[in-house]
């Protein structure tokens, strides 16, 4: 029976204090990996995530950084390496949140923040963490993208632009470090049910669900499952992929 086994590995999950990040970190711990739990501003939630990781018998380190700032990411890398060792697995999940509106009404700063927290996050993480992976001739990098990058719908111009820029960086990076035994992939969620939805009873969205071939919204756990798969050796020959987890709402063409 196939199992996702990440034992002996160390993962960094950015945005691990957030709705999706918490579930990804927990799932990776269930699969056997230690986790560096990154946060920017929500330390209390990050500590809760770390306690969940430790409940599976795994090591956890809470670490703060601004993923849009090179020096901050480099400092995070040094702290994680000193406390836990070299990172094998990276999940780039953090993103700056902002109010969505039309391109004409959207403040320019929002376009800049999305580029910084999507595309440049991956650049900063790669420069900080991939040298150790290259030295080990092993590594897995998963960036959390979005169905919006493919759909390009009204009202999400800044988010779409930032995530499409991320896509370009990831595809180039995959080609650059493949020879070093490192895979680089993207998971692209649809509109996902999170713990906030379960608490507020907002899981149902009939208008959106009508556009999904599988007829429902996906869950945070389903996103985490795909992420864990891509981080595992079950996906050792998959790199440069943009994989929608959107119930068929996005179907990349060949």
Give the pLDDT confidence score for residue 254 in this predicted structure: 80
Based on the residue annotation, tell me whether 159 is a catalytic residue of this protein.
Answer: yes
Residue 161 has pLDDT above 90, yes or no: yes
For strand 10-13 and strand 34-39, is the pairing parallel, antiparallel, or unpaired? Answer: parallel
Rg (CA), the chain: 17
- When pLDDT is cut at 50, 70 and 90, the band that residue 32 belongs to is very high
Averaged confidence pLDDT in the chain: 97
Give the pLDDT confidence score for residue 29 in this predicted structure: 98
Three-point CA angle 221, 225, 230, nearest 5°: 150
Reported as half-sphere exposure (CB side, CA atoms, 13 A), residue 202 has a value of 9
Length of the chain: 254
Residue 136 has pLDDT above 90, yes or no: yes
Residue 253 has pLDDT above 90, yes or no: no
Rounded CA-CA distance 232/9 in Å is 10
Give the pLDDT confidence score for residue 2 in this predicted structure: 83
Residue 1 has pLDDT above 80, yes or no: no
Residue 162 has pLDDT above 90, yes or no: yes
Residue 86 has pLDDT above 90, yes or no: yes
Average pLDDT over residues 33-55: 96
The domain defined by 10-189+220-243 carries CATH number 3.40.50.300? no
Q: Is residue 143 a contact partner of residue 129, using CB atoms and an 8 Å limit?
A: no
What pTM does this model have? Answer: 0.95
Give the pLDDT confidence score for residue 143 in this predicted structure: 98
Catalytic residue among 138, 141, 159, 242: 159
Q: List, in sequence order, the alpha helices (H) in 31-107.
A: 43-55, 70-83
Give the pLDDT confidence score for residue 179 in this predicted structure: 98
What are the structure tokens assigned to 110, written together?
């929002």
Rounded CA-CA distance 70/78 in Å is 13
């Amino acid at each position: 029976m196939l199992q996702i086994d990440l034992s002996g590995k160390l993962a960094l999950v950015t945005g691990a204090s957030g709705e999706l990040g918490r579930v990804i970190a927990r799932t990776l711990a269930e699969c056997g990996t230690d986790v560096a739990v990154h946060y920017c501003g929500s330390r209390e939630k990050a500590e809760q995530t770390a306690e969940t990781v430790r409940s599976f018998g795994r090591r956890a380190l809470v670490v703060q950084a601004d993923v849009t700032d090179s020096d901050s990411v480099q400092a995070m890398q040094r702290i994680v390496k000193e406390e836990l060792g070299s990172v094998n697995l990276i999940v780039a999940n953090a993103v700056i949140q902002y109010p969505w509106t039309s391109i004409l009404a959207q403040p320019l700063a929002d376009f800049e923040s999305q580029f910084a927290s999507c595309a440049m996050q991956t650049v900063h993480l790669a420069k900080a963490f991939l040298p150790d992976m290259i030295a080990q001739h092993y590594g897995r990098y998963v960036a959390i993208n979005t169905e919006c990058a493919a759909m390009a719908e009204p009202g999400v111009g800044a988010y779409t632009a930032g995530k499409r820029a991320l896509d370009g960086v990831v595809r180039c990076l995959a080609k650059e470090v493949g020879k070093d035994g490192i895979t680089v992939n993207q998971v692209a969620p649809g509109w996902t049910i999170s713990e906030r939805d379960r608490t507020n009873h907002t899981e149902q969205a009939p208008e959106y669900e009508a556009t999904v071939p599988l007829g429902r919204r996906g869950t945070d756990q389903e996103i985490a499952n795909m992420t864990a798969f891509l981080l595992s050796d079950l996906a050792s020959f998959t790199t440069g992929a943009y994989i929608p987890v959107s119930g068929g709402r996005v179907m990349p063409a060949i």
